[in-house]
Amino acid sequence: MARLHLFDMDGTLLYGSSANVELARQLDLVADFEALDADFSGGLIDTVEYARQAYRMWRDLTANQVEMAFDAAPWLTGIREVWADIRARGEYCAVISLSPDFFVSRLMGWGAHAAFGGRFPELPFRGKPLDPAGLLDPAAKVRIADELCERYGLTRDDCVAYGDSSSDTALFKAVPVSVAVNGDRHVEALASFRYAGRDLRGAYELALD
């Protein structure tokens, strides 16, 4: 029976970092985004307010800066190899992240069947309005997983989730197999398996076993 492998990105595929922090490096706004992340982690703002503030700080962001941030980011090794193996087995892999889609979607070129992130206007923004309806929250990961299952003729019982933090807990609770990848306390207790390291192949092998 085929399986659907669902990957978080920030802190999971990206080791100790996030798309927002990597983009901030290009704009010399790391401290600003670290403060924004702290407000979100502390429950002071929700995903919509986070996106609104990030959108304002990204007003001068260019597609070239996104490309440089993506290329320079601290990705785990073995991502392409894992996804190639999943495809060779006749299975499916997808990335679901709360980060902006203009960053997440680049992972399609590495072999993911699908990649989802919050929808932002096309770059450069130039004052285009941000539609909150296109943003994602942790619950959206379960909804998207269900949509992918329907697309591929699978059910939640056929899913494996890989994640690292509180944004992954809803999905970890919804599927039977989960792998905490450099996970924090929010996912460690929920995970079927735990992996610490910088090679996705190690986490993937736990799920295969």
pLDDT in tens, 107-157: 999 999 999 999 999 999 988 999 999 999 999 999 999 999 999 999 999
The per-residue pLDDT for range 53-112, each reduced to its tens digit, is 999 999 889 999 999 999 999 999 999 999 999 999 999 999 999 999 999 999 999 999
- Kindly report the CATH number assigned to the domain that includes residue 132: 3.40.50.1000
43 in a domain, yes or no? no
In a domain, 39, yes or no: no
Strand order in the sheet with 177-181: 114-118, 92-100, 4-7, 159-163, 177-181, 193-195
Domain presence at residue 12: yes
When divided into structural domains, the chain yields a total of: 1
pLDDT band at 199 (very low <50, low <70, confident <90, very high): very high
- Nearest CA among 92, 73, 52, 91 for reference residue 9: 73
N- to C-terminal Cα separation, the chain? 15
pTM: 0.96
| Residue 148 is assigned to a structural domain of this protein | yes
Q: What stretches of 113-199 show up as alpha helix (H) in DSSP?
A: 138-152, 169-174, 185-188
Q: Which whole number is the average pLDDT over 31-44?
A: 90
190 found inside a domain: yes
Tell me, what's the pLDDT at 208? 92
Domain range enclosing 184: 4-16+74-208
Output the pLDDT for position 126: 84
